[in-house]
Structure 1
Amino acid sequence: MRGGGQESSNELSGTVHGPVVQAGSVYGGIHIASRPDGAERTPWQLPPLVRVIDRTRELAVLERHRVRAAREDRPVLAALSGLGGVGKTTLALRWLYALRSRFPGGQLHADLGAQSADGPEHPAEVLARFLRALGVPAQQVPSRLAERAALYRSLTAIRRLVVLLDDAATAAQVRPLLPAGGNVTAVTSRRRLPGLTVDGCCPVHLEPLAPEAAVELLADTLSDGRVEEQPEDARALVELCAGLPLAVRVAGARLATRPGRRIGTMVRALGEERRRLEALAIDGDHDVLATLDVSYRALPGPAARLYRLLGLHPGREFDGSAAAALCAPDGAAAAHLDVLHDASLLVEAPGERSRFHDLVRLHAAAKAEEDEPAGERAAAVRRLADHYLASATRAEEILDPQHRTMARDYGPTPVVVAEVGPGPEAALDWLERELPTLMAVLQQASGAGFPTVCWQLADALWPLFLRRKFHAECAAAHRAGLAAARELGDAVAECRMLTSGGVGEMGAGNPGRALEMFERAARLFLSADDPLGHARTLNYRGLALQRLGRPRGAAEFFRRAAAELPVHGDRRAGGLAALNLAALALDEGRAEEALRHAGAARETLDEAGDTYNAARAATCVGRAHLALERLGPAEDALTAAWAALREVSAYEAARALGALAEVSERHGRRDLARDRCRQARDLYASAGRSGSKDAEALRRRLAALEHEESAQ
């Protein structure tokens, strides 16, 4: 180094160690700093690499982000989030190891300790370790965080290195640890870290493995051929592990210590839900239960309470209103859900809904059992049942405003009602989407001590069963509802379950069973001196006899019902009886009689505000006109029926559209007829009624039209 001023003519020679100054005349101050000992040190701190299974998509996302950032000459930052044990660190290592040749300046790694019992690491302590790893002597590490961060950026700006920050707690903890220049940083956290987005972060959220990939991971862990020899048991095992890599590896490791043990033995060990988490552990080392416990303990109190209570939810998915019902009277359910999502304890489901990973659900249920008093658990289950009952009843009211909605018996706390509207289609869609949960709540209700919810929920689901033909669910719901009504000794409820359930049995193709149920209800109504209830069974018994191939007996019951029901105060039910008479007459070729009965039914049902059944009557009117070759009136009636039915019942809409196709064919509009036939065929299929008599007739008509088209 030379100072300023005139250069000396003296020559010096020899070997010099350490800093050297050669100066002539010197003016002003001279500042001399030596390079720290070991400053050329290259750290290689990343943990060992293990095999990555089926993360091709995520790796591609990370690499695209790196290339794009490199083109823009900016640092590369990616944050991998997900449930504990899902493989975040494994994926980050796989990505960073692949970059070693491009980043020869080294690899830094720090466990930021978000889940540590001692609390998260302070960034200043991590920076001190990083600086020492980069060659700064301990005595030269600055004392202040800001100075450490500045020196860190200076040193990393002239290097090409990668940094892995594991188990981060917050974006604020991470930010001082980001290197300068075009270096690469991968952050892992159980929490999503949206705060890093402003730093140009690429977020990657990891989900559990698909079954095929989980089987591959199990085979990689065992490495002894058992997976190939026992594929069905291997598949069952990874399903019990719900695709969580940690769980699969633990199960595989336990099997690996017993080379003679079959995979099915582990399947049986994990089959008992209450003990599954305990079985997924290896001597306190890798432990799924402990991993979930750590995430749970990190939750704020209100979010932890919601987590426990959601463990009581009997379904696989839920929305914000169900969470609000569970954690009432706390009004901050949405905020608590966000905390659980950020902690990767909940998974997003379609339609702004949430679900648990299967093992997390078991953990939440266990925490409810351990940490929530029995009385609080029972009250929460009742609030949830009331929520679903009230919401289904609201959907029922939207769909059938004229239907006799029976009184509902709710618990003592205010009921949270979901948004199920605004119209019939939305209400039906809500019921169908929630059907698995509604059935689970219904089955749970009696055992939980409120059988009224059981039969009343079956009653509220009636419009869905009627319109979208969920026959198996209808039968199961009404069996449970009937048992609950009998347990309560409630004859009115029992009659409701018998009549509604009987209609469901007819839809499922069991008219004999349906007739038995209707006759049982008729006897109960007679013994209770209820002439209106008895009159309603006449209509139902007629329908059962019609399905049993006894049209004369059916017609007699329909005529009696059409006459008696209005007298006892139910004109709408009388209109339905007239509609049944019309359908029977049309099936037997008496079109004029069918037109008379169907016209009267349509008028009565319109007056009653029953738009759905009025539209069904319009279909019957149109088909009667068609049978009489009155194509204009037939098209008018069927067009009106199609417009009213297409949003609420695929099956009934298909019947109207199939008849419209026949009108088009008779008008000579063959292309329109074919299009309508195809659309009606698809509607029958979507309704699960492709095997019905009407659907078979439609297929024959469509085949003839298509044959005619191909012959042209």
Structure 2
Amino acid sequence: MNHLPGNVDGQLAQVGVAHGPITFNYHAAEAVLSAAGRRLNQVPRPPRSFVNRHRALAELDEVLAADDFPGCPIGVFSGLPGIGKTAAASQWAHINHQRFPGGQLFIDFAQLRSGAGADVSEALAICLRALGVHDQYLPVGFAERTALYRDLSAERGGMLVVLDDVTRPAQVTPLVPQGPRSALLATSTWRLGELVLDGATLLQLDVLDPDSAVELLSAVCGHQRIADEPDAAKRLVELCGGLPIAVRLCGARLLTHPRLTIGELVVELSDEQSRLSRIAVSSAHEERTMSAALELAYRDLPETAARMYRMLGHLPGLSFDTAVAAVAAGLATAEEAKETLDVLERASLLSVMEDRRYALHSLVRLHAREMSLAQDPPSAARETVGRVLGHYRLLTVLADLAIRADRLRITDTAEITTAAEAFSAPGEEASTGVGPFAGTDDPGRDALCWLEAERSNILAVLRAAAELGFARPVWQTVEAFTVLFLHHRHLADWRESSELGIDAARGDGAVAAEARLRSLASRPHMDLGQDERAKEHLDIAERLAVESGHVVLQASVQEFAGRYWDRHEPSRAVDAYRASLALNAEAGEVRGEALARYFLGCAQSAAGDHMTALTTLRRARTALLSLGDYRMAARALADTGRTKARLGDTVDAIVDLSRAAADLRRSRAFHYEAQAVEDLAGLLEDPEEVRACLRRALVIYEEGGSPRAAAVLARLTAG
């Protein structure tokens, strides 16, 4: 006789002799519904300081609350670590609590990953327990657990399942509830695009706008703190990049350190080297940091993507394309770089902009740099910047050549452009001539557009490279980069670029290059009203040009000196232009001779010798047209019109200035177009035509940061 002491839970069979298998079918009967009368409410409450996200929550309304959705609707919030995905999901669940009479389940996959046996099967076990299945009745196999979950979720109906911090689609699909009017909401750093095949809608969360970020900071640390230091608060959330977790951590630090002012915290965070470590808050039990949040995303990257991530941390500039990323990471092809960038995008560690360029959040960039400093050789930063500088030097030189091949250069461009044979833009064959700008209807226009689009990035690379001591490639890039500023007057950028180039040329012992860059630097200084600084550059440039023995360079410096004397002593300007004309003629420099003749004509007119000036300007324009230099020819036409106006020939002056303004606009020489239309406004009689001219000039001057904008605005407002 069998004897079984104690209590027994569940099924019991006492069998003497059994022939064949014994099967117990008890799940449907006993699995049971000890939770049948209890409403599930597992989703954590949203943080008290939750702000904004109205648009994201409204989009989720459309996805998860649709009555006519076939099957179970699925929404996925994705975005940077700390962007507020969990908070947004919890907020939506809280607001829509009544829509789901079957209750709300919540699974935190981050906690599952930190424990032993962390997998989808364990997530199913958690759900089954919540639905009333006791541990002794839990199926052991994954397939059996999935089947039971489907049965029970179908019976219950009207459920919301929230899956937090999932990392792959396979963690989502088995947990989709089967009952009517149920829904599933997942959050993930990864984009999980494959879930679209299951009908999911992907919702990308972005950083907070400045006002919402300040509102969040206020909700955490108190409204009075913000009221006491409103400007510092705006700067603080700017340093946080609008990232909610960073704002919360800073707010919590202010709350726990009442004597710490917002301004003092701003000073601390202004140091990039320590910013991430200072975005933190400590308690007796734990320390929460911005670095730790980003580490969660970084540790899941495959090695190739992790290495590119680290190299991008050293990349100067705000945005980059596939070619720059390939160069920064030292990858062989753009295709390989594109695949790796796709991984980083899916991990929400970089974003794709509307023009298909890429960008890293400012705090993500700092984290990537931290990872590189911890894992890569000390030379990694210098090597990355050096590779990127070489890339931009090549393209900037090619752009310069495409815009104006025959202008004076100290750089031996042949040494650099030989690399163009190996250059290939993403998806294009390697090209020669003017590199990636070849084969288009207007290579010069396309090159100028490229320089304009890359302006801030080139300047950032120059800053970083100059600091690291890359002397020669820096001044060579600056010399080529100047062609942009000769067309588009970004005066502050031009001045900064010139100063970087001058310092680099001096450090390289390149006397001719220093003279060239100093003479060019005189232009932005003069346009900014800094004539004394311009004169200092010109005096040194003149001495160095003579020292170099470069005759064409000497002629060019005399031309720039003439531009200075135009303002201060017209007779000396005439002398300077005559000297430039003679030196260019001596060197057989046809274009330089035409330019000197043009400026000589301008000086003659300014000195009152208008008839001689007209003859000189006509000869200069003819020569410039024969050289195909339509931009300078248009300038000569504009000054012909100005000279005619001084002679009292208003009708012809209006014709010349109107035509010159149109030609300059087609040449994208906007600064000189502005000068032409401003002068034209002084000759026209129709008030509406005058205002149209002044409005156009104002737009150009404001975009270029020219002090002339104030004078033009005064003319407009005066009537």
Under a length normalisation based on structure 1, what TM-score does the superposition of the two structures give? 0.85
SS in 1 for 2:457: helix
Shift in Å at residue 521 of structure 1? 2.3
Shift in Å at residue 160 of structure 1? 0.8
Q: Does 1:502 find its partner at 2:522?
A: yes
Shift in Å at residue 350 of structure 1? 4.3
Amino acid at match of 2:552: L
Q: Does 1:152 find its partner at 2:149?
A: yes
Q: Does 1:282 find its partner at 2:282?
A: yes
**Contact 1:582–1:595 (CA under 8 A) maintained in structure 2:** yes
1:42-191 alignment runs, 5 A limit: 42-51=39-48, 52-67=50-65, 69-72=66-69, 74-113=71-110, 116-117=113-114, 121-158=118-155, 159-180=157-178, 181-191=180-190
Which one of 582, 586, 605 corresponds to residue 601 of structure 2?
582
**Contact 1:402–1:608 (CA under 8 A) maintained in structure 2:** no
Shift in Å at residue 316 of structure 1? 2.4
Change over 3 Å in CA distance of 1:89–1:530 after alignment to 2: closer
Match of 2:311 in 1: 309
Q: In 1, distance between residues paired with 2:623 and 2:172? A: 71
SS in 2 for 1:562: helix
Match of 2:708 in 1: 691
Shift in Å at residue 573 of structure 1? 1.1
Which one of 507, 532, 553 corresponds to residue 487 of structure 1?
507
**Contact 1:625–1:633 (CA under 8 A) maintained in structure 2:** yes
Which one of 462, 472, 478 corresponds to residue 458 of structure 1?
478
Residue by residue over 1:431-464, the C-alpha shift from the partner in whole angstroms, topping out at 9 and shown as x without a partner, is 2332222222222223323211221222122112
Residue by residue over 1:129-152, the C-alpha shift from the partner in whole angstroms, topping out at 9 and shown as x without a partner, is 212321234455445544433443
Which one of 398, 405, 412 corresponds to residue 407 of structure 1?
412
Match of 1:337 in 2: 341
Change over 3 Å in CA distance of 1:192–1:533 after alignment to 2: same
Between stretches 378-387 and 672-681, larger displacement belongs to 672-681
Between stretches 428-437 and 74-83, larger displacement belongs to 428-437
**Contact 1:485–1:494 (CA under 8 A) maintained in structure 2:** yes
Q: In 2, distance between residues paired with 1:318 and 1:154? A: 50
Shift in Å at residue 39 of structure 1? 5.5
Q: In 2, distance between residues paired with 1:617 and 1:291? A: 61
Change over 3 Å in CA distance of 1:188–1:566 after alignment to 2: same
Shift in Å at residue 647 of structure 1? 4.7
Between stretches 77-86 and 681-690, larger displacement belongs to 681-690
Between stretches 651-660 and 245-254, larger displacement belongs to 651-660
**Contact 1:230–1:263 (CA under 8 A) maintained in structure 2:** yes
Q: In 2, distance between residues paired with 1:328 and 1:531? A: 42
**Contact 1:114–1:169 (CA under 8 A) maintained in structure 2:** no
Residue by residue over 1:194-241, the C-alpha shift from the partner in whole angstroms, topping out at 9 and shown as x without a partner, is 112223322221222233322322232234843333334433433333
Shift in Å at residue 392 of structure 1? 1.7
Q: In 1, distance between residues paired with 2:482 and 2:419? A: 26
Q: Does 1:553 find its partner at 2:572?
A: yes
Q: Does 1:654 find its partner at 2:674?
A: yes
User: Percent of pairs identical after alignment?
Assistant: 33
**Contact 1:638–1:659 (CA under 8 A) maintained in structure 2:** no
Match of 1:563 in 2: 582
Amino acid at match of 1:94: Q
1:384-463 alignment runs, 5 A limit: 384-405=388-409, 406-407=411-412, 423-463=443-483
Q: In 1, distance between residues paired with 2:457 and 2:444? A: 20
Match of 1:354 in 2: 358
Between stretches 306-315 and 117-126, larger displacement belongs to 117-126
Residue by residue over 1:129-185, the C-alpha shift from the partner in whole angstroms, topping out at 9 and shown as x without a partner, is 212321234455445544433443333234111110111111232112111232121
Root-mean-square deviation (CA), in Å?
A: 3.3
Amino acid at match of 1:648: R
SS in 1 for 2:97: coil
Amino acid at match of 1:34: A
Shift in Å at residue 49 of structure 1? 2.9
Which one of 38, 42, 54 corresponds to residue 34 of structure 2?
38
Q: Does 1:258 find its partner at 2:263?
A: no
Shift in Å at residue 118 of structure 1? 5.9
Match of 2:533 in 1: 513
**Contact 2:207–2:241 (CA under 8 A) maintained in structure 1:** yes
Amino acid at match of 1:282: S
Shift in Å at residue 645 of structure 1? 3.2
Amino acid at match of 1:295: A
Q: In 2, distance between residues paired with 1:119 and 1:466? A: 65
Change over 3 Å in CA distance of 1:126–1:604 after alignment to 2: same
Which one of 297, 300, 323 corresponds to residue 299 of structure 2?
297
Shift in Å at residue 401 of structure 1? 2.0
Amino acid at match of 1:177: L
Residue by residue over 1:61-96, the C-alpha shift from the partner in whole angstroms, topping out at 9 and shown as x without a partner, is 2113334x2244542321111111221111100101
**Contact 2:252–2:281 (CA under 8 A) maintained in structure 1:** no
Residue by residue over 1:627-656, the C-alpha shift from the partner in whole angstroms, topping out at 9 and shown as x without a partner, is 563847963784265135345122222344
Q: In 2, distance between residues paired with 1:170 and 1:65? A: 21
Which one of 322, 329, 350 corresponds to residue 320 of structure 1?
322
**Contact 2:304–2:340 (CA under 8 A) maintained in structure 1:** yes
Q: In 2, distance between residues paired with 1:681 and 1:249? A: 43
Residue by residue over 1:88-107, the C-alpha shift from the partner in whole angstroms, topping out at 9 and shown as x without a partner, is 11110010111111212111
**Residues matched between the structures, number:** 668
Amino acid at match of 2:536: E
**Contact 1:42–1:134 (CA under 8 A) maintained in structure 2:** no
Q: Does 1:372 find its partner at 2:410?
A: no
Q: Does 1:618 find its partner at 2:637?
A: yes
SS in 1 for 2:110: coil
**Contact 2:79–2:206 (CA under 8 A) maintained in structure 1:** yes
Change over 3 Å in CA distance of 1:503–1:690 after alignment to 2: closer
Change over 3 Å in CA distance of 1:37–1:546 after alignment to 2: closer
Change over 3 Å in CA distance of 1:681–1:586 after alignment to 2: farther
Residue by residue over 1:15-42, the C-alpha shift from the partner in whole angstroms, topping out at 9 and shown as x without a partner, is xxx9xxxxxxxxxxxx996362426143
Change over 3 Å in CA distance of 1:443–1:458 after alignment to 2: same
SS in 2 for 1:563: helix
Q: In 2, distance between residues paired with 1:599 and 1:636? A: 12
Under a length normalisation based on structure 2, what TM-score does the superposition of the two structures give? 0.84
Shift in Å at residue 678 of structure 1? 4.2
SS in 2 for 1:116: helix
Amino acid at match of 2:559: N
SS in 1 for 2:187: strand
Q: In 2, distance between residues paired with 1:520 and 1:272? A: 36
1:525-564 alignment runs, 5 A limit: 525-548=545-568, 550-564=569-583
Shift in Å at residue 363 of structure 1? 0.9
Match of 1:22 in 2: none
**Contact 1:595–1:624 (CA under 8 A) maintained in structure 2:** yes
**Contact 1:561–1:577 (CA under 8 A) maintained in structure 2:** yes
Shift in Å at residue 270 of structure 1? 3.3
Amino acid at match of 1:349: M
SS in 2 for 1:70: coil
Residue by residue over 1:566-622, the C-alpha shift from the partner in whole angstroms, topping out at 9 and shown as x without a partner, is 231211111111111222334455443232112211122222232221221232334
**Contact 2:554–2:580 (CA under 8 A) maintained in structure 1:** no
Q: In 1, distance between residues paired with 2:539 and 2:232? A: 49
Amino acid at match of 2:496: A
Shift in Å at residue 264 of structure 1? 3.8
Match of 1:26 in 2: none
Match of 1:202 in 2: 201
Q: Does 1:381 find its partner at 2:392?
A: no
Amino acid at match of 2:75: A
Q: Structure 1 stretches of 5 or more lacking a match?
A: 1-17, 19-30, 708-712
Match of 1:273 in 2: 272
Q: Structure 2 stretches of 5 or more lacking a match?
A: 1-10, 12-24, 426-435
Shift in Å at residue 410 of structure 1? 6.5
